[in-house]
């Protein structure tokens, strides 16, 4: 009997997956007594730490009793759903986490649907039971309803339920039990997760489900061994998704334990390992025995739904802050990203212009944020949805949108979404004065909606959405209802001129900010664009005025983060991204050029 268990932790964003894995690592004794470790240790990337979200799926291994348990922590955000789908094929059991107050959310439905389709049996963990507003019994009922609606088998419906507060390292099998530790989770994994199928005596079969990169050894394929034994130095056959076979050699075999990776000599069927030595390896490829190659089914990777154009920055302030500014550097960096990120696509569309397609705005802004931290400077166009032709009909992606809003504000939100072609599906009271409303909406109608939604709900609303399907094109959708305040001249902004401009709308910049002609410095309070002069100073004369100078009080500018700015811009605008600044500008900088192109 194989003493290995492979599980994935899946859930909606922010339901506590990484915190739970932290607790499993700690309570299994994986960390030595002398080892210091950070909170949410699996979120190793700077952006993950800052935002508190998981962007890349990562695996770890722990020892419990005499078993090795391989755990894969997955992202919860819909934009990274492709990662979850691949990971589920590699494991034999699943921990499904659900927040004890929020209950079933769009991404919970997405991951549960994928899990059931693959025939996996879940262990359901109701997390955050220590919340004052937690209602675990309601959430358990929601989970049973969800499983029934998704067509789960009787065996899948008979899932064990664990109640937990992962942050405090507490878990129990029944709400009436005294508080306990994670022992019940470990025992449930050993009892309910089937042992891996496959045999070390069979011909080798291992499938790659995610990629990594190392400057010394090159591309690394992280894979699950389904049959046979893989040894360091083995000559192998790599079966590509398109049916092509390539010979290769495993130069390095890497095993996992806790947060550490260590070189190993061999691994057998059922284990999850990483290997290096084959530069052409891709997600879904199978490592086979050269004497008898038997490829596994290639993986289906979900299609991108959104595109933006990355281009060389050509603004008047270009090259002052970034180190990598040329099209060659930009192309190199984007191609490097495509090496490990299989959910994205790259296409060269012109001189210094690269079309990047992804699953959503967050995925694209995460790439842009990483690039600016690496001293790149570039511009990004407004996101556009990918329109497909299916059986002769023009189709676009639709999203399942769930919003939680205070009851008194729900009317204005429903009205605004109605103008964006959203169709309301259900409305439920959530307690504590909140309502949950579900919609089906075209993906392009959500571009630019988040900022407006936060304003309408006074910052109290929560929105979540996940990809639903491609449907026939739904016609024109209302976009931004306000115009832009555009600088007419280059220079450094002055308080005197900004004081006069701030009555016309909301400013995005403060005093002593470098601007140029065609740069957008704020949002106009009306629907048309307005050209203004932000560098005009007070006229000085030696004639004393009769009244005292008016006190200049500036309203603090709106902070435009990368995501917020990308949602805000329209088709004739660009986002200029540098290591220190995010500027919004018109595609054509002079007013004469803009007028000429508007006539075309």
Domain harbouring 257, CATH code: 2.40.30.10
At residue 595, the 3 state secondary structure works out as: helix
What phi and psi values does residue 125 have, to the nearest 5 degrees? -115, 115
Domain boundary among 365, 385, 405: 385
pLDDT for residue 82 is more than 70: no
pLDDT given at position 146: 86
Assigned token pair, 551:
């006190």
Residue 298 domain flag: no
Do 442 and 506 reside in the same domain of the chain? no
Calculate what percentage of the chain has a pLDDT beyond 90: 13
Residue 297 domain flag: no
Spatial separation of the C-alpha atoms in residues 552 and 66, rounded to whole Å:
72
What phi and psi values does residue 78 have, to the nearest 5 degrees? -60, -30
pLDDT given at position 43: 47
The pLDDT confidence band at residue 337, using thresholds 50, 70 and 90, is confident
Assigned token pair, 528:
């048309």
pLDDT given at position 381: 92
Do 154 and 56 reside in the same domain of the chain? yes
What's the whole-number mean pLDDT along residues 332-353? 84
Do 254 and 374 reside in the same domain of the chain? no
Which 8-state DSSP code applies to residue 324?
B
pLDDT for residue 244 is more than 90: no
Do 239 and 380 reside in the same domain of the chain? no
Do 102 and 119 reside in the same domain of the chain? yes
pLDDT digits (tens, 9 = 90+) for 388-413: 888 888 888 888 888 888 888 888 88
pLDDT given at position 541: 67
pLDDT digits (tens, 9 = 90+) for 274-329: 888 888 887 788 888 888 888 888 776 667 888 999 999 989 988 888 888 899 99
**Strand 306-312 relative to strand 266-268, pairing:** unpaired
Is residue 136 a contact partner of residue 163, using CB atoms and an 8 Å limit? yes
Domain boundary among 355, 385, 415: 385
Domain boundary among 227, 261, 288: 288
Is residue 101 a contact partner of residue 133, using CB atoms and an 8 Å limit? yes
Q: State CA 409 to chain mean position distance.
A: 28
The pLDDT confidence band at residue 221, using thresholds 50, 70 and 90, is confident
Residue 300 domain flag: no
Integer angstrom CA distances of residue 308 from 178, 230, 364, 372 = 53, 41, 8, 16
Do 174 and 60 reside in the same domain of the chain? yes
Residue 197 domain flag: no
The DSSP annotation for 507-571 comes to ES--TT-EE-TTEEEEEESSSS-EEE-TTPPPPP-SSPPSSPPPP--PPPPP---HHHHHHH--T
Do 63 and 87 reside in the same domain of the chain? yes
Please list, in sequence order, all residues whose beta carbon lies within 8 angstroms of the beta carbon of residue 169, skipping any fewer than 6 positions away: 23, 26, 27, 181, 182
Do 452 and 503 reside in the same domain of the chain? no
Is residue 159 a contact partner of residue 124, using CB atoms and an 8 Å limit? yes
Domain harbouring 424, CATH code: 3.30.70.240
State in Å, rounded, how far the first CA of the chain is from the last one.
73
Which 8-state DSSP code applies to residue 167?
G
Calculate what percentage of the chain has a pLDDT beyond 70: 91
At residue 294, the 3 state secondary structure works out as: coil
Residue 299 domain flag: no
What's the whole-number mean pLDDT along residues 189-216? 82
**Which domain, by its residues, includes 447?**
388-472
Do 184 and 53 reside in the same domain of the chain? yes
Residue 200 domain flag: no
pLDDT given at position 260: 76
Binding-site residues from annotation for GTP: 14-19, 127-130
Residue 198 domain flag: no
Assigned token pair, 174:
């029944």
Integer angstrom CA distances of residue 529 from 47, 114, 165, 574 = 35, 46, 51, 15
Assigned token pair, 364:
């694209």
pLDDT digits (tens, 9 = 90+) for 83-115: 677 788 888 888 888 888 888 887 788 788 888
Among 484, 561, 560, residue whose Cα is nearest residue 523? 484
The length of the chain is 600
Do 380 and 396 reside in the same domain of the chain? no
**Strand 58-64 relative to strand 67-73, pairing:** antiparallel
pLDDT for residue 589 is more than 70: yes
Integer angstrom CA distances of residue 20 from 10, 17, 45, 78, 181 = 11, 5, 18, 20, 12
* pTM, two decimal places: 0.76
Q: Work out the angle between the directed axes of helices 136-149 and 106-117 (0-180°, nearest 10).
A: 50
**Strand 93-99 relative to strand 121-127, pairing:** parallel
Do 354 and 427 reside in the same domain of the chain? no
pLDDT given at position 33: 42
Spatial separation of the C-alpha atoms in residues 445 and 168, rounded to whole Å:
40
Is residue 219 a contact partner of residue 278, using CB atoms and an 8 Å limit? yes
Do 422 and 356 reside in the same domain of the chain? no
Assigned token pair, 443:
């993906």
Number of folded domains that form the chain: 5
**Strand 573-577 relative to strand 229-231, pairing:** unpaired
For residue 311, count CB atoms less than 10 angstroms from its CB and return exposed for 0-12, middle for 13-18, buried for 19 or more: buried
Binding-site residues from annotation: 14-19, 127-130
pLDDT digits (tens, 9 = 90+) for 24-46: 877 776 654 445 455 544 445 55
**Strand 353-358 relative to strand 345-350, pairing:** antiparallel
Residue 213 domain flag: yes
């Amino acid at each position: 009997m194989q003493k290995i268990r492979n599980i994935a932790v899946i859930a909606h964003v922010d339901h506590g997956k990484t915190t739970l894995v932290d607790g499993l690592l700690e309570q299994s004794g994986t960390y030595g007594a002398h080892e210091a470790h950070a909170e949410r240790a699996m979120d190793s990337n700077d952006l993950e730490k800052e935002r508190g979200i998981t962007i890349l799926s990562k695996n770890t291994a722990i020892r419990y009793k005499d078993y090795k348990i391989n755990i894969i922590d997955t992202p919860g955000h819909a934009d990274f759903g492709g990662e979850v789908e691949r990971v589920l094929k590699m494991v034999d059991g699943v921990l499904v986490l659900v927040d004890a107050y929020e209950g079933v959310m769009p991404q919970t439905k997405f991951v549960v649907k994928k899990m059931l389709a693959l025939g996996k049996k879940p262990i359901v963990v109701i997390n955050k039971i220590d919340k004052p507003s937690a209602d675990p019994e309601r959430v358990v009922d929601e989970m049973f309803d969800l499983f029934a609606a998704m067509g789960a088998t009787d065996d899948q419906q008979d899932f064990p339920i664990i109640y937990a507060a992962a942050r405090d390292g507490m878990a129990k099998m029944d709400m009436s039990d005294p508080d306990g530790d994670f022992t019940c989770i470990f025992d449930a994994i050993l009892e309910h997760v089937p042992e891996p199928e496959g045999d070390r005596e069979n011909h080798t079969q291992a499938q790659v489900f995610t990629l990594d990169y190392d400057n010394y050894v090159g591309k690394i394929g992280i894979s699950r061994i389904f049959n046979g034994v893989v040894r360091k130095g083995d000559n192998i056959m790599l079966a590509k998704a398109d049916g092509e076979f390539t010979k290769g050699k495993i130069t390095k075999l890497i095993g996992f334990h806790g947060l550490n990776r260590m070189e190993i000599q061999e691994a057998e069927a059922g284990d999850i390992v990483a290997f290096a030595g084959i530069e052409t390896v891709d997600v879904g490829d199978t490592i086979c025995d050269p004497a008898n190659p038997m490829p596994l089914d290639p993986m289906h990777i979900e299609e991108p739904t959104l595109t933006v154009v990355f281009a060389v920055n050509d603004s008047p302030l270009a090259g002052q802050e970034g180190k990598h500014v040329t099209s060659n550097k930009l192309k190199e960096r984007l191609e490097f990203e495509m090496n490990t990120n299989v959910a994205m696509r790259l296409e060269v569309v012109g001189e210094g212009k690269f079309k990047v397609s992804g699953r959503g705005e967050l995925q694209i802004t995460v790439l842009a944020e990483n690039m600016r931290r690496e001293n790149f400077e570039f511009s990004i166009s407004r996101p556009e949805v990918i329109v497909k032709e299916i059986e002769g009909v023009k189709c676009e992606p639709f999203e399942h949108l769930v919003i939680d809003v205070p009851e008194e504000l729900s009317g204005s939100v429903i009205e605004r979404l109605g103008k964006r072609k959203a169709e309301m599906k259900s409305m439920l009271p959530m307690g504590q004065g909140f309502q949950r409303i579900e919609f089906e909406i075209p993906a392009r109608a959500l571009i630019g909606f988040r900022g407006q939604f936060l304003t309408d709900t006074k910052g109290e609303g929560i929105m979540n959405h996940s990809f639903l399907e491609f449907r026939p094109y739904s016609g024109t959708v209302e976009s931004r209802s306000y115009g832009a305040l555009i600088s007419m001249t280059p220079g450094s902004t002055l308080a005197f001129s900004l004081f006069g401009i701030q009555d016309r709308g909301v400013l995005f910049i403060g005093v002593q900010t470098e601007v140029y002609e065609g740069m957008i410095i704020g949002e106009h309070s009306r629907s048309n664009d307005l050209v203004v002069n932000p560098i005009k100073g007070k006229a000085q004369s030696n004639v004393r005025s009769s009244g005292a100078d008016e006190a200049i009080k500036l309203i603090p500018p709106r902070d435009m983060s990368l995501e917020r700015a990308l949602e805000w811009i329209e088709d004739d605008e660009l986002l200029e991204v540098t290591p220190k600044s995010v500027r919004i500008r018109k595609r054509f900088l002079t007013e004469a050029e803009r007028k000429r192109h508007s006539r075309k």
